[in-house]
Amino acid sequence: MMDAARALQRLAATGRRLQRCCVLLGQARTFSGNPGCLLQGYEPRRWRVTCTPWSRYRRQWIVAHSSMISRHTQSDASQATLASVAPVFSVMKFDKEGNILSFERKKTELYQELGLQARDLRFQHLVSINSRNKKIILRMEFVKAVITSEYLLILDYRNLHLEQWFRRELAPQLAGEGQLVTYALPFEFRALEAILQHRISSLQGRLQFLHPRILETLEALVDPKLLSIDRSQLHILLQVGKTLSELETDLKVFKEAILEILDEDELIEELCLTKLSDPQTLEDSTSRIDHTEEMELLLENYYRQAEDLANAARELRVLIDDSESVIFINLDSHRNVMMRLNLQLTMGTFSLSLFGLIGVAFGMNLESTFEEDPQVFWFITGVMFLGSGLIWRRLLSFLGRHLEPSKPPSIWKRAFPFNGRADATNGHKV
């Protein structure tokens, strides 16, 4: 019993010392040379180290609890960090009167307010129009929007360089002060038309910017008077060609997104939010306006506009392809001229070399009777030049006959009378 009491006293004293050590844990450090020793306090300039029989036990207890404290501290810090960087949406809200309200909202809170799932607002596609829980989820490249029957939400509107359009054009259009054709229809029609109109206007602006540049570049490249191609113009044509390809892709994606809805009547009905949420509107629509038909007409209108832009872009693409063929033809023509000139010079050199053999013969160190006659030199020289000229002309005529394009074959129009004979149009009988 005495031994047990002494052991309990020792444990109590050890517990008190361990408590003090835990307090000084942030300031005290153990010596690397003596891991069994514990720092019980410290002085300003030196450490006071005490080794006890219970040092190993105390060290193990401190290490175990310090790791636990460290884990709790790190966990709290990580939770605080996650809370500080929680994903948020920068939201701009428009109501029916055109009033604007800007705020930031956590994504989870916004999901709960709208009654949507996280996957509904991921906006994986560049252009998409979907309906979820009586709400239209819309993306037109940079514009991400959620349309309800009462308001419009623009998500992540910062750094889009579209705030001027939001405030000066979109808000008045939603309030009924623009040039939209859906003012007599519910709010979702105006919001959808305003965004579609902005998308079509941006695509049309890109096409209007490319059209004169492409025509000007092609006019400079296709000029038949140019013997060489300006590489700077080719570089410009390459750039505008890539931009035109991007425009064609954007138009194709836009048309596919609208066509996907037009192919399904159920999807068109889901876009009529007021008709679904208000039964009284449904009764009124049967006698006055069919919202489903109006939505279909709205989408078809912008689909036709996108189709017209796609046709214009396709015509520019055909012009570029045809101009490339013309450029290659001009280059081939100039190359043929250079080859013909080279061939003519080669034939002239051959003619001179052929009759130059006469001069070579007279240049040998052999005696003959011709060197004594002063008239022979001029005679032989004249024969050499005259013969070379005749041979060169003969070769040119031969070259001209074989390089001239052949005439297209005449088309015989045969008439087959009842007597079985066929007469040609030129009077010959066949």
Domain ranges of the chain: 2-84, 87-175, 336-403
Q: How far is CA 79 from CA 43, 86, 109, in A?
A: 37, 10, 18
3-state secondary structure of 236: helix
Q: What is the pLDDT of residue 14?
A: 67
Listed as own residue / partner, the contacts of 66-75 with beta carbons closer than 8 Å and 24 or more positions apart are: 66/22, 66/25
What are the residues whose beta carbons fall under 8 Å from the beta carbon of 296, sequence distance 6 or more? 262, 268
Q: What is the pLDDT of residue 7?
A: 63
Q: Cα–Cα distance between 192 and 170 in angstroms, integer?
A: 11
**102 forms bridges with which residues in the sheet?**
92
User: Minimum mean pLDDT among 107-121, 253-267, 329-343: which range?
Assistant: 329-343
Which CATH class for the 87-175 domain? mainly beta
Percent of the chain with pLDDT over 90: 22
The pLDDT of residue 136 is above 60: yes
The packing angle between helices 376-403 and 291-362, to 10°, is 160
Nearest to 115 by CA among 133, 137, 140: 133
As beta bridge partners, residue 106 has 88
Neighbours of 146 (CB within 10 A): 23
What one-letter code names the amino acid at 120? Answer: D
pLDDT at position 126? 86
> Rounded to 5 degrees, what are φ and ψ at 43?
-110, 165
Q: Where are the alpha helices (DSSP H) in 117-230?
A: 163-165, 171-174, 187-221
- Coil, strand or helix at 43: coil
pLDDT of residue 421: 40
**Cross-strand partners of 146:** 137, 153
Q: What is the DSSP string of 156-176?
A: S-TTSS-HHHIIIIIHHHHTT
pLDDT digits 0-9 by tens, 196-234: 999 999 999 999 999 999 999 888 887 766 656 777 888
The set of residues, in sequence order, having a beta carbon less than 8 Å from that of 116 and lying 6+ positions away, is: 132, 133, 135, 137, 146
At 44, is the pLDDT very low, low, confident or very high (cuts 50, 70, 90)? very low
Looking up tokens 């096409």, which residue turns up?
Answer: 207
| 327-382 pLDDT tens trace | 777 777 778 888 888 888 888 888 778 777 777 777 776 666 666 777 777 887 78
Within 8 A by CB and 6+ apart from 144, the residues are 121, 123, 138, 154, 155, 156
Task: Compute the half-sphere exposure of residue 155: CA atoms within 13 Å on the CB side of its CA.
Answer: 22
Per-residue model confidence as pLDDT tens digits over 157-166: 877 678 888 8
What confidence score (pLDDT) does residue 325 get? 80
In terms of Cα–Cα distance, which of 206, 247, 222 is closest to 321?
222
d(CA 296, CA 237): 39
What is the pLDDT at residue 302? 95
pLDDT attached to residue 191: 92
Q: Is the pLDDT of residue 35 over 50?
A: no
Buried-exposed string 147-168: b where 16+ CB fall within 10 A, e elsewhere: bbbebbbbbebeeeebbebbee
Alpha helix ranges (H) inside 85-116: 107-114
Residue spans of alpha helices (H) in 36-170: 55-84, 107-114, 163-165
